[in-house]
Every structure is written in C-alpha cells, then in structure tokens.
C-alpha cells in the first residue's frame, strides 16, 4: 500500500453507477456481533458487510450488505473456497467463532466487539490455526457514509489509518498490507497453533487517539461480561437455548446509555426479494414497548426493563398531539427519510432508504401501547412517583378527542387513513389502563369519563369491527378482509379468550392468512398504498397465533407453530422479520427484535398456564 494514498470523495467503485449485489447470499447467512451501542453483520464467508459507527443509526463504514464489496467490507477467509463452514457463538455470549475446513487444514476466525468506551468503538478479529495449514486472504475496504466516501488511507507502523471528515479508523494488525486500488489486502498462511489478531478502532478524527487495547484481555473481558449477563436469564428448561439466545440478541440491540431498543440492526433488507418494501429499522418503536417489557421481565432483566421504561417516558414527553410511533435511540424525533442511489440494494432490492417517513404518521394504537406498557411496569413495580402518570394524563386528554380519527394502522400503511379495528381496540386499552390506574394505584383522574369512553369503544368495535359473514374481527370497520393484529384482542383483555367471536377469528386467520404453516399480516394484494404486492410471512404474527391458541387451550397446535418458527432460525439462532415459506428463506431487517421478543414470550406462554399472554389479559 502506498503511503498517503489519497482518494477523492466519490461513489465507491469509481464510477458512481448503481450495481446490484451478486445473487446467492441470504439474509440468514449473517451473524450479529455488537457492543450494546452498535452492531456488525458477519457473513458465513468471513466478511463483515455491515457496520454503522458509532451508533446503530450512524452512517455505515461497511455497507456491502446493500451494495457490492466496493461499498465497504472487511473479509478474512481461506484463499480457496472451503469445503465446509461451521459457526457458533461461544456459550452465553455474542462472541462469534467461524471454522473453515479446507483441503489442507482448518482455521477459526473469532469475531467480537468489546464493551463500548465513550471515545471509540472497537471490532476484533482473530485467526487461529486448528489443523494443518491454510492459505488465507485478508481484504479491507473502508468506505464512510454508507459506501459513498473513499477515505484517505495511510500506512502506519502496525497497520493503517483511514480518515474522511469526522470519521477515522485505525486497523492494527501484524500482517503487511498492500494496496489494490482503494483496497488493503494481505495473503498469508496460518498453521496449527498460530494466531493472527487484528483490531479495528473508530474515533472522531479531531479527538486525541484512545488508549491501545490488549486483544487477549479484551476477549476474556467480553466473554466474562456476556456470560455473567446471560447467566441471569430465567428461561423455561425445554427452550433454554432459544430463549437465552433471543435475550442476548435483545441486549445486543439495546443502546446501553439511553435504554432504547432498535427494531433491527439494519436498514433496507427487503420484505420481498427484488421488491420496494425496504425500510430503515434502526429506530425505537413505541408499539414494541409492552411486548419488550414482558420479554425482559419474564427473563429476569428488570434493570433493562426499567431502562426501557425510562426511555419510553422521556421519548413521549411533550405535546401529546405530536406523539410519534418511533424515535431515535436517544428519543430524537426527526427521522427524515432519504434514498441512497449509489447502493444497488440487497440482491437488487431498491430503493435503499435511511430514515423512516412513517415517524410522521398518526397511529392511534401506540397510545394504547404506551398506556399498557406503563401499567405493566407498575404491576411489576418498575414505576415510581408521578412522572409516568403525568405523561399518561396528557395522552388520554388527546385520545379522548381523537380515538375515532382514521389513522395509518399498526402496519404503517402509506395510504389514505382508515378506521382500523386494532387501532380502536388499543384506544380501548388506553382507556381501560387509565381506569385501572385510578382503581388499582390510586392516581387521580376522570375515571367515570374514561369508563364511558371504554364502553363506547367496546360497543363500536363489536358492532362495526366484527363481520358476521366472515365470522371474524376484520381489518377495518365495516370491512371483510382479515388482519393478524386482531389475534391480540384476547391478550390485551378486550374479550375473554373463550368468547366465540375470538375463537372464530383465530380459526378464520388459520384458514385465510396462513401460508405453509406461517401467518401473513394481511393479503398484500388487497393493499391500497400504491406499493406492489409481495412480502413474506410475518414471524411475530405466527407467534401471536401460537399465543392465541395457547389462550384458548389448544396447546398442541400452539407448540407446533412455535417449533416451526424455531426451526427457521439460522445456524446461530437468529431471526429476521419475515420468512418466505416457498423459497424457504428469511426476509426483512435482521436480526429483528420483535421476532426474538416473540420467541421469549411464546416460550413462557407454552411453559406456564400463566405466561405473559395470560397475565396481560388478566390485568385488564
């Protein structure tokens, strides 16, 4: 590599033309590593293809996931194609070990991110010879701003330094790196017992350099921290492994300083390969609050649940008419949506988006979710003082006047607003939890008015949200189409699980929204949002069906559904948002917090006659 190799700020790949990623890679080929402030995706081929620095929602330094290798990657792998690849996380940790078996020997690559420090972010990769000898290839392509900016790269005495504007990365490695265009490469041979460690460190370019860290000490420290944390996981013995892995994944998607939990570590992974439903999920959704709280509480993580509850109160404070459905990690409200034309998309799925325009939508169900989350926190003694109640009073003042307004619904339709059944039901939940706050906790508020509101909403939903011809609760008031969100009606306490209308709704969804054993959110061809139809089955909805079946006593069916979802996890136990039951592949952003929350809650529902679903239903 030439010293002081300077490249102009231009699209990666020198031409600026959009090019799609070569086909053949699947979302489930990736594993997650992280430090509870950001995360990286590592492929089965040994390539780090996604890493945002320094936060989950920061611009990516490695963006090959959504483009080509020239949009940034760090690959360490055998020079020749291996005959077998095995991966695992070290027990109870987020430390990834990938073993490559070749014709001449075997080698492991251990990947992890140490716990965060305020002035820097680190990623460590160590190659270790296991048997024989293996010819290896090391390739580093640094690109800032989602693959658009090629940095100025300089050789150092122990690796290299890459800088562009505010971003600076230092790569320390014993390998001698050479330049190939704007890439840094090395060929080397690793023999049994040998080890080659490398550490990548990001910092702000204008800050002083952080202290150099000892890689061996970092590994021991990271393994010990994760094992101490995961040892607290209260998991049903039958499903200890998937529940513990899901809890670790949730922790990895949690920003430790703010308590916010991102929906996923990625943006723009498609809900349909080649489709346009590609959204940025690196933000915190309010509707996830209740499910997430229960998942944390039932697994024994009250500290994390409390941090999430505090994040929630901070985020929603202010004018209730301006409540958003999602916020940034610190509660940021401006999440403007942009398209990145220089990225070709995952397997050609365009556009690639950052930001999320849905943050401006009215979605009335989030008022119920916030009210339910704070009620649940009180039931579990995670609430103190009146701060949360003051927020709830403001939310109720708004909702009393607006619960009949058409909205965008739980699935964030980019279409004219409608009266969604689930939005009305969650408005009922808000009124119900407000009444319970007065009755059970002694808070002051107009309980009689809220009781009347609750009764009116209940009557309207039963009259206009249930279609006798379909024998089911439907998607819209007066509608005939189904929506998996109504599976939650018994869980939120709107009707008893054994109510005939609930049972018939569950059976209707089994008939009409299931594809090869998985549940769709709705039929996308019935959408009026202007987007082409097509998406996978929604894994959280499949787990909601399992929960609903458990609530009505059909445990064998519920267990079968749950085990079906567990069977489509990837080789290291991770789930995306959706699953294509025809192509048998995962779809959507990855790994998806909501899917892993569902795994935790459904495991508990099936292992106890009073799991989170039953408890949530009974608190109403």
CATH of the domain at 39: 2.70.98.50
Strand partners, 537: 579
For the cut 80, the answer to whether the pLDDT of residue 232 exceeds it is yes
For residue 182 the two structure tokens come to 């704007």
pLDDT of residue 529: 53
Q: Is 22 exposed, middle or buried (0-12, 13-18, 19+ CB in 10 A)?
A: exposed
Q: CB neighbours of 262 closer than 8 A, spacing ≥ 6?
A: 56, 57, 253, 255, 281, 282, 283, 284, 329, 593
- For 391, half-sphere exposure in the C-beta direction (CA atoms, 13 angstrom radius) is 24
d(CA 589, CA 569): 14
Beta strands 178-180 and 167-172, pairing class: unpaired
The answer to whether residue 229 sits within a structural domain is no
Q: Are residues 152 and 280 in the same domain?
A: no
Q: Are residues 208 and 280 in the same domain?
A: no
d(CA 486, CA 466): 10
pLDDT of residue 25: 86
The answer to whether residue 5 sits within a structural domain is no
Q: Read off the pLDDT band of 5 (50, 70, 90).
A: very low
Q: Are residues 249 and 179 in the same domain?
A: no
The helix/strand/coil state of 117 is: strand
d(CA 319, CA 326): 15
pLDDT of residue 14: 27
Determine if residue 227 is left, alpha or beta; phi over 0 gives left, psi from -120 to 50 gives alpha, anything else beta: alpha
Q: What is the pLDDT of residues 478-505, one digit of tens each?
A: 999 999 999 999 999 999 999 999 999 9
Q: How many structural domains compose the chain?
A: 2
Provide the 10 A C-beta neighbour count for residue 338.
Answer: 13
**Whole-number percent of the chain with pLDDT over 90:** 79
The answer to whether residue 3 sits within a structural domain is no
pLDDT of residue 616: 66
pLDDT of residue 605: 92
Q: Is 446 exposed, middle or buried (0-12, 13-18, 19+ CB in 10 A)?
A: middle
The answer to whether residue 586 sits within a structural domain is yes
Question: What range does the domain containing 173 cover?
Answer: 27-216
Sign of CA pseudo-dihedral 297, 299, 302, 306:
negative
Q: What is the mean pLDDT of the chain?
A: 91
pLDDT of residue 200: 97
Q: What is the CATH number of the domain that holds 376?
A: 1.50.10.10
Q: Read off the pLDDT band of 58 (50, 70, 90).
A: very high
Q: Are residues 188 and 244 in the same domain?
A: no
Mean pLDDT of 585-606: 96
For residue 241 the two structure tokens come to 């492994």
The answer to whether residue 445 sits within a structural domain is yes
In the block, tokens 């991102």 appear at: 262
Q: CB neighbours of 564 closer than 8 A, spacing ≥ 6?
A: 517, 518, 542
Per the CB < 8 A criterion, the answer to whether 375 and 382 are in contact is no
For the cut 80, the answer to whether the pLDDT of residue 518 exceeds it is yes
Q: Read off the pLDDT band of 460 (50, 70, 90).
A: very high
pLDDT of residue 249: 97
The answer to whether residue 188 sits within a structural domain is yes
Q: Read off the pLDDT band of 152 (50, 70, 90).
A: very high
pLDDT of residue 61: 97
The answer to whether residue 368 sits within a structural domain is yes
First to last CA, the chain: 66
For residue 538 the two structure tokens come to 């929604």
Per the CB < 8 A criterion, the answer to whether 125 and 198 are in contact is yes
Q: Read off the pLDDT band of 322 (50, 70, 90).
A: confident
pLDDT of residue 410: 92
For the cut 80, the answer to whether the pLDDT of residue 365 exceeds it is yes
Q: What is the pTM of this model?
A: 0.93
Domain end marker among 165, 185, 216: 216
**Between 212 and 592, the higher pLDDT residue:** 592
- Count of residues in the chain: 620
* CA 251 to chain centroid: 11
Mean pLDDT of 558-570: 98
Per the CB < 8 A criterion, the answer to whether 367 and 427 are in contact is yes
To the nearest 10°, report the CA torsion of 395, 401, 406, 410: 20
Q: What is the pLDDT of residues 169-224, one digit of tens each?
A: 999 999 999 988 889 999 999 999 999 999 999 999 999 999 988 888 999 999 99
**Whole-number percent of the chain with pLDDT over 70:** 92
Closest CA to 74 of 8, 160, 132, 195: 160
pLDDT of residue 182: 85
Sign of CA pseudo-dihedral 522, 525, 531, 536:
positive
Beta strands 338-339 and 326-327, pairing class: unpaired
The helix/strand/coil state of 134 is: strand
- DSSP-assigned states of every residue in 436-486: HHHHHH---S-HHHHHHHHHHHHHHHHHHSEETTTTEE-SBTT-----GGG
The answer to whether residue 403 sits within a structural domain is yes
For the cut 50, the answer to whether the pLDDT of residue 17 exceeds it is no
Sign of CA pseudo-dihedral 219, 233, 619, 488:
positive
Any alpha helices (H) in 323-386, and if so which ranges? 365-379
List strand residue ranges (DSSP E) for 265-309, in order. Answer: 284-285
Element holding 401 (H helix, E strand) = helix 387-402
For the cut 60, the answer to whether the pLDDT of residue 8 exceeds it is no
pLDDT of residue 4: 34
Q: What is the pLDDT of residues 126-147, one digit of tens each?
A: 999 999 999 999 999 999 999 9
Q: Are residues 395 and 526 in the same domain?
A: yes
pLDDT of residue 6: 27
Q: Are residues 211 and 243 in the same domain?
A: no
For residue 371 the two structure tokens come to 């009210």
DSSP state of 37: S
Domain end marker among 216, 250, 268: 216
Per the CB < 8 A criterion, the answer to whether 270 and 587 are in contact is yes
Q: How many helices (H) and strands (E) does the chain have?
A: 13, 26
Q: Are residues 328 and 196 in the same domain?
A: no
Q: Are residues 568 and 420 in the same domain?
A: yes
Q: Are residues 248 and 190 in the same domain?
A: no
For the cut 70, the answer to whether the pLDDT of residue 11 exceeds it is no
Q: CB neighbours of 417 closer than 8 A, spacing ≥ 6?
A: 362, 405, 406, 407, 408
Q: Are residues 549 and 453 in the same domain?
A: yes
Q: Are residues 210 and 243 in the same domain?
A: no
Mean pLDDT of 583-611: 91
Q: Read off the pLDDT band of 526 (50, 70, 90).
A: low
Q: Are residues 199 and 274 in the same domain?
A: no
């Amino acid at each position: 590599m030439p010293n002081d190799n300077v490249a102009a700020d231009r699209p990666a790949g020198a031409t600026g033309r959009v090019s799609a990623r070569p086909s053949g890679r699947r979302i489930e080929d990736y594993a997650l590593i992280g430090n509870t402030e950001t995360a990286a995706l590592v492929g089965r081929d040994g390539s780090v293809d996604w890493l945002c620095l320094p936060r989950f929602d920061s611009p990516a330094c490695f963006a090959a996931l959504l483009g080509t290798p020239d949009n940034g990657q760090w690959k360490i792998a055998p020079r020749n194609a291996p005959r077998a690849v095995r991966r695992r996380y070290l027990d109870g940790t987020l430390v990834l070990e990938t073993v490559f078996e070749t014709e001449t020997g075997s080698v492991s690559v251990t990947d992890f991110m140490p716990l965060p420090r305020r002035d820097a972010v680190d990623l460590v990769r160590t190659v270790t010879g296991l048997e024989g000898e293996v010819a290896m290839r090391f390739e580093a392509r640094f690109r800032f701003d989602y693959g658009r900016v090629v940095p100025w790269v300089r050789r150092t005495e122990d690796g290299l330094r890459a800088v562009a504007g505010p971003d600076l990365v230092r790569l320390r490695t014993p390998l001698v790196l050479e330049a190939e265009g704007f890439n840094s490469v090395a060929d080397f041979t690793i023999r049994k017992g040998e080890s080659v460690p490398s550490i990548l460190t990001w910092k702000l370019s204008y800050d002083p350099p952080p202290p150099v860290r000892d890689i061996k000490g970092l590994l021991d420290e990271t393994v010990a921290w994760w094992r101490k944390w995961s040892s607290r996981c209260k998991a049903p013995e039958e499903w200890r492994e998937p529940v513990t892995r899901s809890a670790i994944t949730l922790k990895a998607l949690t920003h430790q300083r703010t308590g916010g939990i991102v929906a996923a570590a990625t943006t723009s992974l498609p809900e349909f390969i080649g489709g346009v439903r590609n959204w940025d999920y690196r933000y915190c959704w309010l509707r996830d609050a209740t499910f997430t709280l229960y998942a944390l509480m039932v697994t024994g993580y009250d500290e994390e649940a409390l941090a999430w509850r505090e994040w929630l109160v901070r985020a929603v404070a202010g004018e209730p008419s301006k409540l958003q459905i999602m916020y940034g990690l610190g509660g940021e409200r401006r999440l403007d949506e942009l398209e990145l034309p220089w990225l070709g998309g995952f397997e050609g799925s365009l556009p690639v988006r950052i930001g999320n325009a849905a943050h401006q939508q009215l979605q009335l169900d989030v008022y119920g979710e916030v009210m339910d989350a704070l009620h649940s926190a009180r039931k579990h003694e995670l609430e103190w003082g009146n701060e949360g109640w003051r927020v709830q009073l403001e939310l109720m003042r708004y909702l009393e006047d607006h619960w009949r307004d058409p909205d965008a619904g739980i699935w964030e339709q980019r279409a004219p607003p409608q009266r969604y059944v689930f939005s009305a039901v969650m408005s009922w939940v808000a009124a119900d939890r407000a009444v319970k706050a007065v009755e059970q906790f002694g808070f002051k508020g107009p309980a009689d008015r809220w009781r009347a509101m609750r009764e009116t909403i209940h009557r309207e939903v039963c009259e206009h949200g249930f279609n006798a011809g379909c024998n089911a609760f439907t998607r819209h008031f007066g509608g005939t189409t189904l929506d998996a969100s109504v599976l939650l009606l018994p869980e939120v306490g709107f009707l008893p699980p054994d109510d005939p209308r609930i049972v018939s709704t569950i059976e209707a969804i089994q008939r009409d929204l299931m594809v090869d054993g998985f549940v769709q959110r709705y039929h996308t061809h019935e959408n009026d949002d202007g987007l082409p139809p097509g998406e996978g089955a929604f894994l959280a909805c499949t787990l909601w069906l399992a929960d609903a079946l458990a609530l009505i006593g059909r445990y064998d069916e519920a267990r079968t559904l749950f085990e079906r979802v567990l069977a489509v996890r990837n080789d290291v136990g991770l789930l995306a948002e959706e699953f294509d039951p025809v192509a048998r592949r995962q779809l959507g952003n990855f790994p998806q917090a909501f899917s892993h929350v569902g795994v935790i809650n459904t495991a508990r529902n099936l292992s106890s006659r009073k799991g989170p679903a039953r408890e949530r239903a009974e608190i109403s």
